[in-house]
Amino acid sequence: MLIATPEYNHSIPGQLKNALDWVSRPMATNPLRDKPVAVIGSSTGLFGAVWAQAEVRRVLAAIGARPLDRELAVGEAFEHFDDDGRLVTPELREELAVTLLELVDATRVVLPLAALGTPSGSLRVAAFVNNGSHDFLSNQVLAGVPAGTAMLLAAADHVAVPVQPTAPDLAATQRALAMLKASGRPYSFVVSRAPVRAPEIEQTRGILGALGPLAPMSISDRRIYARALIRNSAVTEIVRDDNKAAEEIHAYWRWLDNQTKEMKPWRPEKAA
């Protein structure tokens, strides 16, 4: 769900607040519960409805929705929209595209893992095959066991599994673990889209470390990744090597390359 709001007296318009209040009942089963929602806004003033957006996100969280931790503030709106109401400023259009990409990612339909007989869960997988070097082969989603996934896993030298520090991703990872083990191929995890200094990162690392090899670095949640996706480019193609995002990616690739060379079977550590 996408909500675009103006701002009245530094807060939510009454009509929108009334609509959210009505849709919030019954609380336990309301239509917005557990639904991802992006909030954007504009105003004729300088600040682009930032206070209204913050209030809307707060109300959505109270309702039980999952508001994205992102805002798009279009201040002095008359300078950024044409006569037909279209947003025309390139930088703001790119920010809107990034927001929509994150919303689409959060609302991805989750299909049953049929092979495991378990409910919902999706898992992104990057598989690598050896053609003289470890080349990137494909991105897949382990949800409903899409055609070719088993073949892809069987052909891979190493299966890299990026996991976001969220409950749905962790649940999907644990459910898909049987498929990864059944493939007989080496695999590893990496924490991705990690909010900077969030406590969930270490909690996620603790869980993943007990499931299999885990990359020592995390891939932070940076806007440059979404911008690279929009441009159909790798992050390292659009930023300098000393950029923080590029440094993370290079460090991860070096670690992953060593993993594919060593090919050591993983065993859980025994408690002391």
The position carrying tokens 């991805």 is 108
pTM: 0.49
**Distance between CA 256 and CA 159 in Å, rounded?**
10
**Distance between CA 18 and CA 8 in Å, rounded?**
14
Find the largest Cα–Cα distance for the chain.
70
**Distance between CA 146 and CA 140 in Å, rounded?**
8
> Considering only the top CATH level, what class is 124-262?
alpha beta
pLDDT number for residue 110? 34
- Tokens representing residue 198 in the block: 């969030």
Output phi, psi for 223, to 5 deg.
-65, -25
Pick the CATH number of 2-106 from 3.40.50.360, 3.30.540.10, 3.40.50.970, 1.25.40.10: 3.40.50.360
> Tens-digit pLDDT profile for the chain (272 aa)?
999 999 999 899 999 999 999 999 988 788 888 788 999 999 988 899 999 999 999 999 898 888 888 889 999 999 999 988 899 998 898 888 888 888 877 775 332 222 222 223 344 444 444 333 443 333 344 433 444 556 666 666 778 888 888 887 787 787 778 777 877 778 888 888 888 778 888 888 999 999 888 999 988 877 776 677 666 666 666 667 677 888 888 888 888 878 766 655 445 555 44
Helix (H, G, I), strand (E, B) or coil at 13: coil
Domain-by-domain residue ranges, the chain? 2-106, 124-262
Q: Do domains 2-106 and 124-262 have the same CATH topology?
A: yes
pLDDT number for residue 95? 87
Write out the DSSP string of 135-199: EEEEEEE-SS--TTHHHHHHH-SEEEEEE-SSHHHHHHHHHHHHHHHHHT--EEEEE-SBPTT-H
| Buried/exposed code over 234-261 (b: 16+ C-beta within 10 A; e: otherwise) | ebbeebeeeeebbebbeebeeebeebbe
pLDDT number for residue 232? 61
Helix (H, G, I), strand (E, B) or coil at 239: coil
Residue 124 half-sphere exposure, CB side, CA atoms within 13 Å?
14
**Distance between CA 248 and CA 245 in Å, rounded?**
5
